[in-house]
Amino acid sequence: MDRRTFLTSAAGSRTGSTGRNITAIPADGGHEAALLHKTVLAEREESLKGLREPVALPRLVTSGLDPYTPTTEKPWDKQRAGYLLRRTLFGAKRSETDMALTKSPGEVVDMLLANPTPPVPPFSWQNDDYYYDNSNNDQVNRGRLQDLRDWWTDLMLNQDFSIQEKMTFFWSDHWATEALTVRQPHFNYWFLDLFRNNFLGNFKQMVKDVTVSPAMLIYLDGWYNTKQRPNENYARELMELHTLGEGNGYTQDDIINAARALTGWTIKETGTSPVGTKTYDPRNATLISNRFDDTDKTIMGRTGNFGAMDLIDIIFEVHQAEVARFICRKLYREFVYEIADESIIDELATILMNNNWDIRPVMSTLLKSEHFFDTANIGAHITSPLEYYIGSIRALDITTTNVRYIYQVCSALGCQLLEAPNVKGWPAYRSWISASRLASRWSVADELILGNMKSTPKFGVDPVTYVSTLSDPNNARKMIQDILDYIVPLKMSTNQFEILLDKLLAGAPEYEWNINLPGADGHIKDLLKAVLRLSESELC
């Protein structure tokens, strides 16, 4: 694999002085990523001005997409197995890491990408027609929305050994919606169902399915979009946020014409409810012909009497490589690192196009690759609230049925399920961590260790039980090292390790450490609190 060079440019790919493609920060965001290589950018601008000779650019990760095989330098150990699991699940349970180490990395990836048994929700209202009930301020539907959130949280907490829930969240972020706008929990349910069923499915088909999904028709005003009054909202975001990136291959006139192609689709009325309001099909939308603009449109240079599905075919044909790169870059940023390596993206995009837009081969190649398992990428992902909080619960073998509180905590940390901050989804990456958010994370992490949240049923770590099955829990140093190997993605310095040892022993001599001593549980809690406050613990 070629040595790769990195450079930022918000303007898209450019060819650098080396003649190779240079990493560009995609138009769909990543300011903070761009800042990382500010100094490099400054270098480049200097060289572009001709002020001095070009200099060699620093590299980050050089390995490519060939399959990773364990070596002495890159062993298949707790750290590396835990890394794979933390990226593809919400945190890694110890038992899962141990199981993974009995198999090859490729076998574990295959297990993670296999189709699990479809989960069955503990409710069935999603199959009934939706209607709004004025008489009780729609309390029933509000409760249903919470049902859905609780169930989803439970699926993350008690997930199968599968990437399905991680991908479901990924897609719900890619096609971000806000429940306060969508309002109908039935529509939210089937929107999520679409993502869960197609978690590694066909991207082009998903774009089509989303376009005519009731949730998206409501959220981005598609149901208002008629030939009499075209509404640009969805047309713009379809291109800007879902397939191409801001300004990448379309014009304002393309948006206006695309909006006309999308006219006529709306939610499907089915009758009248017991309280006199309209009822709606919970799952399927409909095209109302006299609202459709039945005339020619010109989109991306093609002219015809296009409808919604034609529009998507046009985007995927005219800008095939751009769409492929756009979604592969987004997958890369979610699963590897925020700053995409454009030559890796090009290779992944080729795989996606060669497989007729199926996502699974792309993810399989990526997750099995030397590039993914490169030591430099381990710990490079800033955890989302879901990864941090649910991940900590799972890593510490904490069990609870209080999924409502987990949902509330993740909301307070900035990630409220089904309620993205806006149509662009969660900005993620460094936005997950600010001074105030760091404080909030430390606060809820302490609660997990102490089990003292105000919500009931309370839940927290069982410290002695947790460490008793480690390799040598009565050896303080070995116990700490085992804990770190299982839950922290990066190695500690000697000084950090000694500080953690002090937290555990609190002045007692090391040889006296024994988990059966009175008060041992308190000492272990002090240690775990310090571990979860490590900056390293914010990463995965």
**Contacts with other proteins in 41-60 (CB under 8 A)?**
41-43, 45-46, 51-53, 55-56, 58-60
Query: Does position 485 bind other proteins by CB under 8 A?
Result: no
Closest to other proteins by CB, 18 vs 202, is: 18
Query: Does position 38 bind other proteins by CB under 8 A?
Result: yes
Site for other proteins in 95-124 (CB under 8 A): none
- Positive or negative: CA dihedral 342, 348, 354, 356: negative
Letters for 158-197 (x = contact with other proteins by CB under 8 A, - = none) are --------------------x-xx----------------
Query: Does position 77 bind other proteins by CB under 8 A?
Result: no
- Please pick, from the candidates 64, 67, 121, 421, the single residue that binds other proteins as defined by CB under 8 A: 421
Closest to other proteins by CB, 153 vs 162, is: 153
Q: Please provide residue 21's backbone torsions phi and psi, each rounded to the nearest 5 degrees.
A: -60, 145
What does the CA dihedral 27, 420, 385, 112 come to, rounded to 10 degrees? -80
Question: Which contiguous run of DSSP H or E holds residue 270?
Answer: strand 265-272
Q: Check: CB of residue 412 under 8 Å from CB of residue 406.
A: no
Determine the interface stretch with other proteins among 105-113, 361-369, 405-413, 463-471 (rule: CB under 8 A): 405-413
Size of the site for other proteins (CB under 8 A): 102
Determine the interface stretch with other proteins among 149-157, 261-269, 288-296, 424-432 (rule: CB under 8 A): 424-432
SS3 108: helix
Angle at 520 between CA 519 and CA 522, to 5 degrees: 70
Determine the interface stretch with other proteins among 131-139, 156-164, 304-312, 435-443 (rule: CB under 8 A): 435-443
Query: Does position 220 bind other proteins by CB under 8 A?
Result: yes
Q: Which candidate, 410, 393, 387, 523, places its Cα nearest to that of 467?
A: 523
Query: Does position 450 bind other proteins by CB under 8 A?
Result: yes
- Please pick, from the candidates 125, 151, 161, 442, the single residue that binds other proteins as defined by CB under 8 A: 442
Query: Does position 17 bind other proteins by CB under 8 A?
Result: no
DSSP 358: B
Determine the interface stretch with other proteins among 304-312, 354-362, 468-476, 488-496 (rule: CB under 8 A): 488-496
| Shortest Å, Cβ 246 to other proteins | 5
Site for other proteins in 18-37 (CB under 8 A): 25, 29, 31-32, 34-36
Query: Does position 521 bind other proteins by CB under 8 A?
Result: no
| Shortest Å, Cβ 448 to other proteins | 11
How many angstroms separate the CA atoms of 346 and 329, rounded? 9
- Please pick, from the candidates 314, 328, 420, 488, the single residue that binds other proteins as defined by CB under 8 A: 420
Query: Does position 419 bind other proteins by CB under 8 A?
Result: yes
DSSP 412: H
- Please pick, from the candidates 75, 143, 247, 457, the single residue that binds other proteins as defined by CB under 8 A: 247
| Shortest Å, Cβ 377 to other proteins | 6
Closest to other proteins by CB, 113 vs 403, is: 403
Query: Does position 134 bind other proteins by CB under 8 A?
Result: no
| Shortest Å, Cβ 140 to other proteins | 21
Q: Which residue has the tokens 């490729």?
A: 106
Pairing label, strands 278-287, 265-272 = antiparallel
Q: Check: CB of residue 23 under 8 Å from CB of residue 31.
A: no
Query: Does position 381 bind other proteins by CB under 8 A?
Result: yes
Q: Which residue has the tokens 């169930």?
A: 151
Other Cβ atoms closer than 10 A to 507: 5
Residue type, 301: G
Query: Does position 135 bind other proteins by CB under 8 A?
Result: no
What does the CA dihedral 45, 46, 52, 54 come to, rounded to 10 degrees? -40
Determine the interface stretch with other proteins among 94-102, 115-123, 421-429, 475-483 (rule: CB under 8 A): 421-429
- Positive or negative: CA dihedral 8, 12, 13, 15: negative
How many angstroms separate the CA atoms of 386 and 89, rounded? 10
Letters for 332-371 (x = contact with other proteins by CB under 8 A, - = none) are -----x-x--------------------------------
How many angstroms separate the CA atoms of 171 and 165, rounded? 10
Determine the interface stretch with other proteins among 135-143, 190-198, 351-359, 406-414 (rule: CB under 8 A): 406-414
Q: Please provide residue 526's backbone torsions phi and psi, each rounded to the nearest 5 degrees.
A: -60, -40
| Shortest Å, Cβ 523 to other proteins | 16
How many angstroms separate the CA atoms of 20 and 482, rounded? 43
Beta strands in 295-398 (DSSP E): 297-299, 302-304
**Which pair of tokens denotes residue 203?**
């991207």
Q: Which candidate, 427, 386, 429, 392, places its Cα nearest to that of 409?
A: 386
Closest to other proteins by CB, 414 vs 473, is: 414
- Please pick, from the candidates 435, 456, 516, 519, the single residue that binds other proteins as defined by CB under 8 A: 435
